C-alpha cells in the first residue's frame, strides 16, 4: 500500500474518531508530515421568532411541570429511549394504591410490558413499553397529571 | 362567576377567549397540538396542556383528551370557541356528564336548533317567517301548481335526496313549473335513484342577515342587532358588517324581535346567531340558527360596545343579563375583513408557510384579532385564517376608507393572502353603493 | 379640501397623519432622515424625500430643507405633527411667506399663546382663572403679607430669575412667609445675583387636566372634553385618560367653557390644548396652552369618536366646523400608556437598539399607534417612544383591566421598555382608587 | 498513470470524503508535498426585516425617481466617486437657461469646480465637485427635483 493510499485510510479513521468525539478540528504532524482536519461547524442559531417569550406576560405553567416535553429537562444519559404518554390524563405507577410498581429502575421490559396506567375520563389505560431494555429513569409519580407526548420513563435499550 | 376555564380551541379565538378571561380575573387552561407548541398565546394562559399531534382528530377534535385535560387541570368550564367541537352535541353532553360547564347552550336547545328541520318547526311555532315551501315531497303536478300559486313565483324545485345543485331548478311561471317538475324528477331519479322533489320559494338575490342574541338561564334574552354577511364566496363569508345597511328601523326591529322569539321558544341559554335571508322587498325568512359564538362577532361588539365573550362567560357562571334591551344601542358602523392565507389569483387555494414579514395596521377605528407574528409558520393542518381586521367608524363610507387604508398597511409576506381580494371588493362600485347580495362576489369578481 | 400635504415629522405621528390623509383622499409627502430610510410608513406616502442625515438639526429641524422639500414636491400644506417644528413661530411664518398652508394656528395666535406671560394675560381677559400671584417682583414684606392674605396659604415664593427649584419655597402662614421671603431673597441673590422674588398660590397635590379644543377660521370653536394627565414623572406624561375621573358634570362644563373662552379670545384656528391645574376643591387654574396636536390626542378620539387629525386637515383646507357642541358626546372611558424604550430599573434611561421580537396586543377595546416592527432599530437620535397603547371601555375599572392584559401581551424584546412601569402604576391601589395627583408617581413609585 | 492523474484521483477521493463528512478544510503535507482543500461554507441566511416592503401598499414614489439613492440604480463603473446633493432642491446644470452646462461628461474638475446649482427656497446654491477627476456621468437634468444625498454626478478620480 502506498503512503498516499495509507493517508486516505488514515483520514477515514481519523474522521471516525472526530465524529465519535464531536471534534471540530484535528491536526497531526510527524516531522514534515502533517494532517489537518476541520469539520463543518454547526450553523449559528439565528434568532428564531417561534421561540420567543412574551416577557411581560405571566408564563403559562405547564401542567406537566419540569418534566414537560416543553420544559427544560435535566441533562440525560445519551442513547436512552423515552416512553411518552400517548394521551392526556393522570399517571399511576402501580396497579392499585398498595401494590408494587409495575416497573422500577433496572426492571427489564419488552415491547409488551405494562409500565404504568394513565387514567383518562375514569378509564384506566395500560401503557406498554413498546421497546426492549432496562428502565433507566422513572419520570413521573403516581397521581401526577401528564400531557400528550410527556416523557414517562427512559429505557436503556438492548 | 367561573374561576377556571379550559379553552377547547386554537388560534385567534383561543386568544380572544384568554383575553376576556384575563380581564375578568378568570384563570385559563389552553390546550394545544404539537403544531401549535410555539404559539405565543399559550404563554398568556395560566396553564397549557399538549393534547396530541397536529391532526385535528387526535387533538382539537378528540373529546376524551380534551375532557381529560379539563380533569387534570381542574377546569370548571370549557369554552369551545367556534368550529371544532363548538356545535357537537355529544361533546356538550359529555361535559354535562362529567360535571363540566359547557360555555354554550344546553344539550336540548342545541339539538333543537342544530337540526334544520326541527329549527324550522321551532321558527313556525314562534311565528318567525321561514322560506315558504312544500315541507316534504310534492305528490303531483296539481299540488305543485297550487302551492306555487300560493307562495308566488319564482320557486325552486329541489331533489329531496339532492345536493350540490343537482336536481335543482328555478322556475318562473306555471308552464316552467310543469316542465321543470318533470325534468327535476327525472334528473333526481337518475342521480339519486329517488324521484322525490320538493318546492320552495326562490329568494332572488337575497342578503344574508343574522341577528346576534344572548340569553340567560333565568329566561332573559336580548339581541345585539344584526350583521350583514352577504359578501361570500362559495358560502365562505369574506366581509361582514353591522348594521345591515339596507334595513330601515321598523324592519330591523321586526327582524330582531323575530330572532328573540325563536330563541325564547327553544329555551336557549348563551350566545346564538339567527340567520335570515332578506329579499329585495325587505321580507325576511329564517334559514338556520348557530348555537355558538361566530367568527364575525367583533363587528357587533364594536357597534354595541358589548364584549360578547364576557357575556357568554358571565351567563355560563350563572349570572343573569342585567341590562335592558333599550340599553343596547347601535353606534356607528363596523366591518370585518377576514385575512386568510389563500391565493385569490389561484382560486383561493390555501397558502400555508412561514411569515417572514408581518406588520399589523393600527390607529383610529382599527381593531385586529389575530394570533400570528413575524416568524410564525401557518400550519396546513388548520383553517387558513390569519387575522380578522375590524374597523369601526361613524359612517359606512368612512368604514370603507379606513378599511382600505388599513388593508394597504397590512404586511404579511411571503404568503399570499385575501387582502387584495378584500381591497377589490371594497373598491367595487356596487359594494360602495351597497347594491350587493349573496351572489355578488361570485357573479362579479371571483 | 387640501390635495397634497407634506408631513414635517417622523415616527408614529407621521404615520398617524398619513393614515388620516389616505382616508380623506389627500396625497402625502413624507420627509425622512437617513436614519429613517427603512421606515415602513414611508411606503404608505405618495412621495418620500430624504432631507438630511440622522441629526435633527440637519433634517427634521432644518427649515430650509423642509420648505424646499415642499416646493419640489408641490405640497400645498405642511402638517408639523408635535415636537420638532410644531410650535416654531418662525417656521409657521416662513410657511406663510412661501404660500404654504401651515396645518396649525396663525402666527399671531401662536405667539400669544406660546408665550406664558402673554397667555396669562389672554386668560385674564377671557375671565379664565389663573394661578393667583404677584405677577411681578414683590416689593417688600408688607406687600407679600397682604397678597398672601388675599390669595390664601399655602403660597410659594419663587426667584424671578430662578429655575430648577432654587430660590423656591412653600410657606403656610405669616410667620413662615416672613422668614421664607428673606431666605428666598438671599438665596436668589446668591444664586442668580438678583434678589427679585414673586409670590404665587401653591396648589397642593393638583391634577393636570387639559381641554381639547378645535377652532376654525370662521370663528367657530368646539371642545372635545378633557384629558387627565396627572401620571407624570419629571414632567413627562406616562399615562393619560379621558374623561378626568374626579370632575363632576358642572365643573367639567365650566372647565371646558373656560378653555373655549380663552381660545376665542386669541382668534385661534386649528387644534389646541388648554392646560389647567385642578386642586382638591375642584378649583381649576389655567397654566398654559399648547398650539399643536398632542401625543395623547387618541384618548379624546376614542371617547368622542372624532378623528382630530382629520379635523385639523379639514380646517386647514378652509372648511368650517359643521357640528354643534351638543353633538360631541363622551362615550365610556379611554386611557393611553406611552411605551418608551427606557429602562425603569435604571432611572428610565433610554434603551435604543434592535427590536428582535415584536408582538402587538389586539382585540376588544385596544388601539395601537406605533410605527415600529420586528427588525426595526430604535435610533438614539430621536425620542424613545415606540408605541402608544390606547384602550377604550365602558368604565374606568374595565379600562384598567383591559390595559393590563394588553400590556402583558405586548412583546418588545430585547430592548427595555416602560411596560413594567405602566403595569406597576395600573396595579397601584391609589391609581385604581383614583387618589392621584401630579406628584403621585415620583412620591410613590419611581 | 502519471503522478498528476494520480493526484486528481486522490483529490477526487479526498473531496468525496470531505463532502460525505462535511469537512470544511483538509490539508496534507509530506515533506515538500502538500495538498490543501477548503470547502465553501454556506452563508447563513439572516432575515433582514428592515428590507421588507409592504406589498399591499402603493409604494411611495421617490421624488428623485430612479436616480434616487434609495431607488434601484443601473450598474455603474467601479471606482467612480459620486457627487451627492448636500441639500434638497431643484437641480440646474447650467448657470442660466441658455448658457452651456457647468460640466459635461469628460470635463476635468477639481475640488473647487462648480458643477451645478441647486435652488432651494429661491436661493441658488453653487455645488462644488469636492473631488478631482473627470466627469464620468451626469445623473440629473436641469429642473429636476433632488433630495438629500442624491447622486448628481459621478467622477473618475485621478
Chain C residues whose CB is inside 8 A of the D58 CB are 43-44, 46
Q: What are phi and psi of A78, to 5 degrees?
A: -75, 160
In angstroms, rounded to a whole number, what is the distance separating the alpha carbons of residues B141 and B178? 7
Interstrand relation of C27-33 and C47-52 (parallel, antiparallel or unpaired): parallel
- The DSSP line for B357-384 is EEE---STTEEEEE---TT-EE-TTS--
Chain A residues whose CB is inside 8 A of the C409 CB are 54, 56-57
Q: What is the mean pLDDT of chain B?
A: 95
Chain position carrying cell 372611558: C333
pLDDT score of B269 = 97
Cβ proximity of C99 and D122 under 8 Å:
no
Kindly state whether B396 is in contact with chain C, defined as any CB-CB distance less than 8 angstroms.
no
Chain position carrying cell 430648577: C164
Taking only the tens place, the pLDDT of each residue in B320-351 is: 999 999 999 999 999 999 999 999 999 999 99
Interchain pair A50, B377: CB under 8 A: yes
D8: confidence class by pLDDT, cuts 50, 70, 90: low
Q: Is the pLDDT of residue D42 over 60?
A: no
In angstroms, rounded to a whole number, what is the distance separating the alpha carbons of residues B402 and B410? 12
pLDDT score of D39 = 58
Q: Measuring CA to CA, which residue among B404, B332, B389, D59 is closest to residue C23?
A: B404
pLDDT score of A49 = 31
In angstroms, rounded to a whole number, what is the distance separating the alpha carbons of residues B383 and B11? 10
Task: Domains for chain B: give ranges and CATH numbers.
Answer: 4-103 (3.40.50.20), 132-201 (3.30.1490.20), 207-444 (3.30.470.20)
pLDDT score of D7 = 60
Q: What are phi and psi of B140, to 5 degrees?
A: -150, 180
Kindly state whether B358 is in contact with chain D, defined as any CB-CB distance less than 8 angstroms.
no
Q: Which of A4, A33, A39 lies nearest to residue D29, judging by beta carbons? A: A33
Kindly state whether C121 is in contact with chain D, defined as any CB-CB distance less than 8 angstroms.
no
Q: Which residue has the higher pLDDT, B119 or B252?
A: B252
Interchain pair D63, C37: CB under 8 A: no
B297-304 and B308-316 helices, crossing angle to 10°: 100
Taking only the tens place, the pLDDT of each residue in B7-23 is: 999 999 999 999 999 99
pLDDT score of D71 = 40
In percent, the amount of chain A with pLDDT more than 90 equals: 47
pLDDT score of A73 = 47
pLDDT score of D11 = 65
pLDDT score of C165 = 62
D59: confidence class by pLDDT, cuts 50, 70, 90: very low
Q: Is the pLDDT of residue A53 over 60?
A: no
Instruction: Region of B235 please: left (phi>0), alpha (psi -120 to 50) or beta.
Output: left
Q: Is the pLDDT of residue B114 over 90?
A: no
In angstroms, rounded to a whole number, what is the distance separating the alpha carbons of residues B22 and B16? 10
pLDDT score of C258 = 98
Taking only the tens place, the pLDDT of each residue in C414-436 is: 999 999 999 999 999 999 999 99
Kindly state whether B71 is in contact with chain A, defined as any CB-CB distance less than 8 angstroms.
yes
Interface pTM (ipTM) of the complex? 0.78
Average pLDDT over residues A65-86: 65
Q: Is C28 exposed, middle or buried (0-12, 13-18, 19+ CB in 10 A)?
A: buried
In percent, the amount of chain C with pLDDT more than 70 equals: 99
In angstroms, rounded to a whole number, what is the distance separating the alpha carbons of residues C29 and C68? 12
D38: confidence class by pLDDT, cuts 50, 70, 90: low
B396-409 and B419-426 helices, crossing angle to 10°: 150
Chain position carrying cell 397635590: C205
A47: confidence class by pLDDT, cuts 50, 70, 90: very low
In angstroms, rounded to a whole number, what is the distance separating the alpha carbons of residues C257 and C251? 10
Q: Measuring CA to CA, which residue among C273, C257, C270, C286 is closest to residue C122?
A: C286
Chain C residues whose CB is inside 8 A of the A50 CB are none
Average pLDDT over residues D40-53: 36
In angstroms, rounded to a whole number, what is the distance separating the alpha carbons of residues B171 and B182? 12
Kindly state whether D66 is in contact with chain C, defined as any CB-CB distance less than 8 angstroms.
no
Interstrand relation of C333-340 and C236-242 (parallel, antiparallel or unpaired): antiparallel
| Alpha-carbon distances of B121 from B40, B125, B274, B287, B432, rounded to whole Å | 45, 6, 14, 11, 38
* Chain centroid to CA C198: 27
Enter the pTM of the model. 0.85
Q: Is the pLDDT of residue A144 over 90?
A: yes
Chain B residues whose CB is inside 8 A of the D47 CB are 356
Residue C180: its H or E element: helix C174-192
Interchain pair B40, C359: CB under 8 A: yes
| Alpha-carbon distances of B16 from B7, B297, B423, rounded to whole Å | 10, 11, 25
Residue C4: its H or E element: strand C4-7
pLDDT score of A58 = 41
In angstroms, rounded to a whole number, what is the distance separating the alpha carbons of residues C274 and B302? 31
pLDDT score of B239 = 98
Q: Is the pLDDT of residue A56 over 70?
A: no
Q: Is the pLDDT of residue A14 over 80?
A: no
Average pLDDT over residues A22-33: 62
* Chain centroid to CA B221: 20
Interchain pair D23, A43: CB under 8 A: no
Mean pLDDT for each 10-residue chunk of chain C (446 residues)? 97 98 98 96 97 95 96 97 96 96 97 87 95 86 93 89 71 93 88 86 95 97 98 94 97 98 96 96 94 98 98 98 96 98 94 96 98 95 96 98 98 97 98 96 93
Q: Going by C-beta distance under 8 Å and a sequence separation of 6 or more, which residues neighbour residue B347?
A: none
Average pLDDT over residues A96-108: 94
Taking only the tens place, the pLDDT of each residue in D92-145 is: 999 999 999 999 999 999 999 999 999 998 889 999 999 999 999 999 999 999
B158: confidence class by pLDDT, cuts 50, 70, 90: confident
B253: confidence class by pLDDT, cuts 50, 70, 90: very high
Nearest chain A CA: its distance from D50 CA (Å): 15
Average pLDDT over residues B41-56: 96
Where in the sequence numbering do the catalytic residues of B fall? 292
| Alpha-carbon distances of C402 from A128, B45, D114, rounded to whole Å | 48, 15, 62
The residues pairing with B242 across neighbouring beta strands, listed in sequence order, are B334
Which of C16, C120, C252, C292 is flagged as catalytic?
Answer: C292
User: How crowded is residue B154: how many other Cβ atoms within 10 Å of its Cβ?
Assistant: 16
Amino acid at each position: 500500500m502506498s503512503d498516499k493510499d495509507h493517508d486516505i485510510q488514515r483520514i477515514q479513521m481519523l474522521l471516525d474518531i472526530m465524529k465519535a468525539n464531536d471534534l471540530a478540528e484535528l491536526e497531526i504532524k510527524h516531522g514534515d508530515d502533517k494532517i489537518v482536519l476541520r469539520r463543518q461547524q454547526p450553523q449559528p442559531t439565528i434568532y428564531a421568532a417561534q421561540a420567543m417569550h412574551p416577557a411581560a406576560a405571566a408564563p403559562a405553567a405547564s401542567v406537566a411541570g419540569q418534566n414537560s416535553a416543553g420544559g427544560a429537562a435535566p441533562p440525560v444519559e445519551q442513547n436512552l429511549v423515552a416512553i411518552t404518554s400517548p394521551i392526556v390524563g393522570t399517571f399511576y405507577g402501580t396497579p392499585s394504591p398498595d401494590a408494587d410498581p409495575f416497573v422500577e429502575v433496572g426492571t427489564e421490559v419488552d415491547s409488551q410490558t405494562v409500565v404504568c396506567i394513565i387514567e383518562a375520563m375514569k378509564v384506566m389505560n395500560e401503557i406498554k413499553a413498546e421497546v426492549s431494555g432496562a428502565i433507566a429513569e422513572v419520570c413521573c409519580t403516581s397521581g401526577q397529571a401528564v400531557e400528550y407526548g410527556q416523557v414517562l420513563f427512559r429505557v436503556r435499550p438492548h | 362567576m367561573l374561576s377556571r376555564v379550559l379553552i377547547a380551541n386554537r388560534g385567534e379565538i383561543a386568544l380572544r377567549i384568554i383575553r376576556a378571561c384575563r380581564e375578568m380575573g378568570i384563570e385559563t387552561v389552553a390546550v394545544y397540538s404539537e403544531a401549535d407548541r410555539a404559539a405565543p398565546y399559550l404563554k398568556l394562559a395560566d396553564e397549557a396542556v399538549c393534547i396530541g399531534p397536529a391532526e385535528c382528530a387526535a387533538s382539537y377534535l378528540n373529546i376524551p383528551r380534551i375532557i381529560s385535560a379539563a380533569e387534570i387541570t381542574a377546569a370548571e368550564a370549557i369554552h369551545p370557541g367556534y368550529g371544532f367541537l363548538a356545535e357537537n352535541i355529544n361533546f356538550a353532553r359529555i361535559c354535562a356528564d362529567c360535571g363540566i360547564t359547557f360555555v354554550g347552550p344546553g344539550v336540548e336547545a342545541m339539538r333543537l336548533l342544530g337540526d334544520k328541520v326541527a329549527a324550522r318547526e321551532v321558527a313556525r311555532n314562534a311565528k318567525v317567517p321561514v322560506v315558504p315551501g312544500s315541507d316534504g315531497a310534492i305528490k303531483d303536478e296539481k299540488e305543485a301548481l297550487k302551492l306555487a300559486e300560493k307562495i308566488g313565483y319564482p320557486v325552486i324545485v329541489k331533489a329531496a335526496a339532492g345536493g350540490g345543485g343537482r336536481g335543482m331548478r328555478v322556475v318562473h311561471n306555471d308552464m316552467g313549473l310543469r316542465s321543470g317538475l318533470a325534468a327535476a324528477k327525472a334528473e333526481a331519479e337518475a342521480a339519486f335513484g329517488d324521484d322525490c322533489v320538493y318546492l320552495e320559494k326562490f329568494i332572488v338575490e337575497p342578503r344574508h342577515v343574522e341577528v346576534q342574541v344572548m340569553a340567560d338561564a333565568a329566561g332573559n334574552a336580548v339581541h345585539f342587532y344584526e350583521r350583514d354577511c352577504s359578501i361570500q364566496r362559495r358560502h365562505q363569508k369574506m366581509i361582514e358588517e353591522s348594521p345591515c345597511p339596507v334595513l330601515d328601523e321598523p324592519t330591523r326591529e321586526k327582524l330582531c324581535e323575530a330572532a328573540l322569539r325563536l330563541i325564547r321558544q327553544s329555551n336557549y341559554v348563551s350566545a346564538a346567531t339567527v340567520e335570515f335571508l332578506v329579499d329585495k322587498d325587505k321580507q325576511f325568512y329564517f334559514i338556520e340558527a348557530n348555537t355558538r359564538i361566530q367568527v364575525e362577532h367583533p363587528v357587533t361588539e364594536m357597534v354595541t360596545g358589548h364584549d360578547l365573550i364576557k357575556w357568554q362567560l358571565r351567563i355560563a357562571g350563572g349570572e343573569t343579563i342585567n341590562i335592558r334591551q333599550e340599553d343596547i344601542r347601535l353606534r356607528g358602523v363596523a366591518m370585518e375583513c377576514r385575512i386568510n392565507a389563500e391565493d385569490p389569483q389561484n382560486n383561493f387555494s390555501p397558502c400555508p408557510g412561514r411569515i417572514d414579514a408581518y406588520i399589523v395596521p393600527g390607529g383610529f377605528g382599527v381593531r385586529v384579532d389575530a394570533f400570528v407574528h413575524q416568524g410564525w409558520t401557518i400550519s396546513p393542518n388548520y383553517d387558513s385564517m390569519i387575522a380578522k381586521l375590524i374597523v369601526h367608524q361613524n359612517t359606512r363610507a368612512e368604514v370603507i376608507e379606513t378599511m382600505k387604508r388599513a388593508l394597504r398597511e397590512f404586511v404579511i409576506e411571503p404568503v399570499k393572502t385575501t387582502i387584495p381580494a378584500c381591497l377589490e371588493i371594497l373598491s367595487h362600485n356596487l359594494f360602495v353603493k351597497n347594491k350587493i347580495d349573496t351572489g355578488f362576489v361570485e357573479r362579479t369578481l371571483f
